[in-house]
Amino acid sequence: MNHVVNPLTNHVANHSLLTESLSFSCHLGECRSELLPLLSEVSKVVSREGSLSKTLKLVLELMQKHLQVTRAMISLYDASCDQIFIHESFGLSREESEKGVYYPGEGITGKVVETRQPIIVPVIADEPLFLNRTGSWDRNLDSRLSFICVPIMRGMKVMGTIGVERLYNNRQLLHLDLEVLGIIATTIAQAVELHLLERAHKQVLQAQSARLNSELKEKFKPSNIIGNSKAMQSVYMMIDKVSHARTTVLILGESGVGKERVASAIHYNSSCAHGPFIKFNCASLPESVIESELFGHEKGAFTGAVARRAGRFEEAHGGTLFLDEVGELSPAVQAKLLRVIQERCFERLGSNESIKVNVRILAATHCDLTEMVEKGTFREDLFYRLNVFPITIPPLRERGNDILLLAEHFNAYFAKEQQVDVPTIATPALNLLLSYDWPGNVRELENLMERAVLLAEGGVIHSYNLPNGLQPAVLGELGGQSGLEARLSLMEYEIIVESLSRHQGNMSKAAAQLGLTRRMLGLRMAKYRLNYKDYRCGG
């Protein structure tokens, strides 16, 4: 069994006791005349500047040389994770050292840290607390070894341990070596404390760095755009990179993906955010009007021009002009737009006076401009002027769980607008939202949620509150039934799906919850073409 020894509190006094013990040790058959040189050399090693690992390696080498230990290890206590791990060792392989991890109170090393008391184990083989976690101890070869473990202390704070394994022919030498290890522990204590403080500081810095990286990711994400999908993260990074430049940006993507929101994010994160943000949809007006809207006109320039009017380029001076659906412009307007981009000047209709403007141009289109250039419907030189920094917005169907985030956002927004409590979106309804292809993208989802909030019953948006286009084919067919029959079928479908989802596809449990036999549930599932496998975890 082990012997707990009171900690050595005054190692200065122990030096004189140690000196008296040296001659006594020789009478025990093992002369320790080198102990004072050992302590002197340890003191010199610790006083030198260097890493703690290098210092402790030298200390272990000195212990092996002067104390002839079989194995020795210096373990440190990391309070942040409440673990004790071997920092440096002698007689252990790297793999064995890495296994030497303990919690306070666990094994002999953990007991020393927990109690802050040194422990002597006269015979390791007889000690139940000895865990041999490193796997280095061999019962056949090492059965007679003893083990000494002392705490490394600074004041009342324990920072680690020194442990040694050795064969003692005379057990009285155990207490002498305990004193030696105690003095070494005190000698290295300050260096260990500084190392642990530095380690803790690094951990704080790493935590701060991780937090800052998280904040930077959040910073990249514009406040006016919802979504955390990987597809959108790359868009946010592109927005962040181009916002602070004056570069012309071409925003590409299907109708309804939110190209205007991206343009807005670029403007309001740019150096011209204080200037105007003028939006113009190139497909919203007849060709005869677009030129006047973009460049302005003088009084009498055409029938109905009763006064001078500034165009969008003049209005955007000092700020940003967003040209949406730029692929819809006629060849004549394309030519004038190219000149403005190149020369930053234009003339109003009915005037020969050139007007200089300082405008950043952002353009967007759902068209394939490359294909239009090949067909000759879009000017190649204008395309290259606009396509300096393209950003492609992914369609909603490629944004995964962003669909649910957007649905919840619109749900809350329209509930507030309609002055009702925010309804819960039932699981079957969420499943339909996720499985739908969203040809109209975010705009379609927004319109759908406005309708769903109006139709919600009892504070819940059910699957039957969603348009027939979202329903599975079998429910779409049921939509052709009479109103009541279709309504009852949709409700039954939702109840079954809800139960299958709750029980992760377990038909027996779902049937029991619904008060049906497994066979009856199976028939109803067949009616709606439901498969229990689709509701299993990970399925």
In a domain, 217, yes or no: no
CATH of the domain at 311: 3.40.50.300
Residue 50, sorted as left (phi over 0), alpha (psi -120 to 50) or beta, turns out to be left
In a domain, 263, yes or no: yes
In a domain, 212, yes or no: no
In a domain, 348, yes or no: yes
351 and 414, same domain (yes or no): no
Q: Which of 361, 394, 427 is the last residue of a domain?
A: 394
7 and 153, same domain (yes or no): yes
- pTM for this prediction: 0.54
In a domain, 221, yes or no: no
282 and 402, same domain (yes or no): no
Structure tokens at 436: 């739908």
Q: Which of 182, 200, 218 is the last residue of a domain?
A: 200
Edge-to-edge strand order for the sheet containing 83-90?
3-4, 119-121, 146-154, 157-166, 71-78, 83-90, 101-102
163 and 21, same domain (yes or no): yes
Q: Which of 372, 394, 416 is the last residue of a domain?
A: 394
21 and 166, same domain (yes or no): yes
282 and 171, same domain (yes or no): no
Which H helix or E strand runs over 425?
A: strand 424-425
In a domain, 225, yes or no: no
271 and 385, same domain (yes or no): yes
- For tokens 């020894």, the residue is 5
407 and 376, same domain (yes or no): no
48 and 195, same domain (yes or no): yes
In a domain, 144, yes or no: yes
- For tokens 């009616």, the residue is 527
175 and 148, same domain (yes or no): yes
**Total count of domains within the chain:** 3
CATH of the domain at 480: 1.10.8.60
**pLDDT tens, per residue, the chain with 539 residues:** 566 655 444 443 444 445 555 544 554 445 555 677 788 888 888 877 678 888 888 888 888 888 888 999 999 998 877 889 999 999 999 889 888 889 899 999 999 999 999 999 999 888 888 888 898 888 888 888 999 999 999 888 899 999 999 988 877 788 888 888 999 999 888 888 888 877 776 766 666 656 655 554 555 567 788 988 888 988 999 999 999 888 999 999 999 999 999 999 999 888 888 899 999 999 878 877 888 889 888 887 777 777 888 889 999 999 999 999 999 999 989 999 999 999 889 888 888 888 999 999 999 999 999 999 999 999 999 999 999 999 999 999 999 889 999 999 999 999 999 999 999 998 888 888 988 899 999 999 999 999 999 988 888 898 878 887 777 655 555 545 556 676 777 778 878 887 887 787 888 888 888 888 988 888 888 888 888 877 765 44
526 and 402, same domain (yes or no): yes
406 and 471, same domain (yes or no): yes
Q: Residue 340 CA to chain centroid, in angstroms?
A: 44
CATH of the domain at 96: 3.30.450.40
What domain range includes position 146?
3-200
